[in-house]
Amino acid sequence: MSFSDYTVGAPVVDKAAPDGPIETRWERRKFGVKLVNPANKRKVKIIVVGTGLAGGAAAATLGEAGYHVTSFCYQDSPRRAHSIAAQGGINAAKNYRNDGDSVYRLFYDTVKGGDFRARESNVHRLAEISRQIIDQCVAQGVPFAREYGGLLDTRSFGGVQVSRTFYARGQTGQQLLLGAYQALERQIHAGTVNMYERHEMLELIMVEGRARGIVARDMVTGEISTHLADAVVLATGGYGNVFYLSTNAKGCNVTANWRAHRKGALFANPCFTQIHPTCIPVSGDHQSKLTLMSESLRNDGRVWVPKRLGDDRAPSQIPEDERDYFLERKYPSFGNLVPRDIASRAAKEVCDEKRGVGPTGLGVYLDFADAIARLGRPAVEAKYGNLFEMYERITGENPYETPMRIFPAVHYTMGGLWVDYDLQSTIPGMFVAGEANFSDHGANRLGASALMQGLSDGYFVLPVTIGDYLASTTLPEVAPDAPEVLEAVGAVNERIDTLLSINGTRTVDSFHRELGHIMWDYCGMERTEEGLRKALELIPELRREFWNNVKVPGTGAELNQSLEKAGRVADFLELGELMCLDALHRAESCGGHFRAESQTEDGEAARDDENFAYAGAWEYTGRGEAPILHKEELNFEYVHPTQRSYK
């Protein structure tokens, strides 16, 4: 039986979600959770893997609550987690602008923006908590942008018509992460959190069906250590690096999540990936990553290509009436601010028509000439100065004088480990927060919502819900030499030894790059049955070659960056296959998942609610073995599914 002969198993049900009026569900869940007695909290051990917005916020908050927390990150400091790179902002339903915003509108926009593939209860909770997040961050001293009266400034973002995005220049993620990082360091100082930097989680330890710890590798000495706890939180980010080129940091990986998936955690909607429309185009084979230009630029920049095919004049030589401002033309009511999936696909379309710009023809202009004329250069500089400088450093072109060239790139993954309303995975005692879970964004995430979700999960949801599990579960002590622990350590050592012993003829990066090409070509912005079937043949072949022909130099007992990469790419080679299968089975188009076979007459995504109004959660059955699909049916009681229209 081949991998694509998957079977459908029993539905997966979110038992933690309360019913009743949506406005009070979170309130009632908070009241319903069992509480851990303050005196008992310090006896409870919680492992948090990852120190981005979700993990950093969770570790700090759990530490403040009095739990005994152990935190891990692969970077040399928790401050470097990739949340730091988020540029544009964070949404919150404060309605400071008096422009008609509300919790309900943020909820509505997010469900609609996610193309009706997210759980209503989760999204409503996210919208409620959004307001507390801003209060919390301001209290921490996060230097948000302010107006002359001293109050917080906001701006608008793609997919919505209100101005609810709070920001700190083009470095909002940095400032929010530093807030969480500082809260975390405060707890480290207080002794409630033990921090392990330069440590990578390589295995989950399960005892009697529950998550009870992890196996980690010290990336400096190579030492393999075990860490036991009463609960494990994975806040390990997304898996966009399966595409090799993405806006993720080089170290971002799926290993922690994939190890948990192999041990029984369902992986939901893996094919839901976000392709961000405004990135700097690829310049050559040596390229190691793609750089995002914040979506906020679309507030003032106008996207265009020449009307005429093969028009290779410099942009300044192309007169106004020979330019096609295609987003404004196709989507007059949202214009340049359509959601990311729609903007990306529109850019791909004009490039497919051979109207793309730049040396590769894979690019469109993002032009600020009008904004500079209207607002003056100093105003544009104040808003976007750092982004313009970054663009110039990378491309050698000055965007104040010549339009930026942009092209879509992989940016975020909406899919992730399946969790219930309490953020608990299908492995009892293992919780998943932030981008690592699948919960809130459906098939497409709106701009400035990732930071909101990471902090909501980390500061406000998980610290409450995890208590319910801990208070209602009897957890016997696990001996450090319990068979389950030794087995997990053995598996890690064996895998490292195997990777080091192959000694083939190809580098890890060469495999990663090839996998990335397969994923981008067949599971990227547009997917077809034929292409996905092809990818499902190519990936296992590549994986076989990897395990026979990869060359990893050095030993396991030292700082060995090739070995780190090898383990991650090995897991990407399994994940990629699952993503393609998920994309193949979902024969509809929705959000970031565009199946060429399922489109409307005018080329927009055609959803199929009759057959696909569910989250697809996959169960692992063995490497290359056909997985089992468990469906979580999605019910829309409040926001009724309509064909998303931004025209």
Partner 1 sequence: MKLNLRVWRQNDQVDKGRMVDYTVDDASEDMSFLELIDVLNEKLILAGQDPIAFDHDCREGICGSCSMVIDGQPHGPQKATTVCQLHMRQFNDGDTINVEPWRAGAFPVVKDLVVDRSAFDKIIQAGGYVSVNTGSAPEAHSTPVPKAAADRSFAAANCIGCGACVAACPNGSASLFLGAKLTHLGEMPQGQPERYERVVTMVDTHDAAGFGGCTNTGACATACPKEIPLDVISQLNKDYLAATVGGKRRKG
- State which of positions 157-186 bind partner 1 (CB under 8 A): 168-169, 171, 174-175, 178, 181-183, 185-186
Q: Is 396 in the site for partner 1 (CB under 8 A)?
A: yes
The whole-angstrom separation of Cα 439 and Cα 489 is 31
CB of 75 to partner 1, least distance (A): 6
Q: Is 148 in the site for partner 1 (CB under 8 A)?
A: yes
- Contact mark string toward partner 1, 552..571, x via CB under 8 A: -xx---xx-xx---------
Q: Is 460 in the site for partner 1 (CB under 8 A)?
A: yes
Contact residue for partner 1 among 163, 402, 507, 549 (CB under 8 A): 507
State yes or no: is 340 an active-site residue: yes
Q: Is 189 in the site for partner 1 (CB under 8 A)?
A: yes
Contact residue for partner 1 among 11, 21, 143, 480 (CB under 8 A): 143
CB of 601 to partner 1, least distance (A): 40
What residues between 329 and 388 interact with partner 1 by CB under 8 A? none
Q: Is 147 in the site for partner 1 (CB under 8 A)?
A: yes
Q: How would you write 382-430 as a 3-class SS string?
A: HHHHHHHHHHHHHHCCCCCCCCEEEEEEEEEECCEECCCCCCECCCCCE
DSSP 325-384: -HHHHH-TTTGGGS-HHHHHHHHHHHHHTT---STTS--EEEE-HHHHHHH-HHHHHHHH
Residues of the chain by 3-state class (helix, strand, coil), percent to 5: 40, 15, 40
What residues between 581 and 620 interact with partner 1 by CB under 8 A? none
What value, to the nearest 5°, has the Cα angle with vertex 241 and ends 289 and 537?
120
The residue count for binding partner 1 (CB under 8 A) is: 80
CB of 267 to partner 1, least distance (A): 25
User: Coil, strand or helix: which one is 503?
Assistant: coil
What value, to the nearest 5°, has the Cα angle with vertex 361 and ends 359 and 362?
110
Among residues 119, 340, 543, 644, the one annotated as catalytic is 340
What is each CA distance from 493 to 10, 199, 206, 496, 557, in whole angstroms? 35, 15, 17, 5, 11
CB of 54 to partner 1, least distance (A): 13
Contact residue for partner 1 among 79, 276, 323, 527 (CB under 8 A): 79
Give the nearer residue to partner 1 in terms of CB position, either 75 or 344.
75
Contact residue for partner 1 among 30, 33, 97, 138 (CB under 8 A): 138
Which one of the spans 2-10, 110-118, 203-211, 248-256 is the region binding partner 1 (CB under 8 A)? 248-256
What residues between 17 and 46 interact with partner 1 by CB under 8 A? none
Contact residue for partner 1 among 287, 316, 548, 643 (CB under 8 A): 287
Q: Which of 391, 401, 337, 398 is nearest to 369 (CA)?
A: 401
CB of 628 to partner 1, least distance (A): 36
Q: What phi and psi, each to the nearest 5 degrees, are found at residue 337?
A: -100, 30
Q: How would you write 601-637 as a 3-class SS string?
A: CCCCECCCHHHHCEEEEEECCCCCCCCEEEEEECCCC
What is each CA distance from 350 to 315, 326, 504, in whole angstroms? 16, 8, 42
CB of 148 to partner 1, least distance (A): 5
The catalytic residues are 340
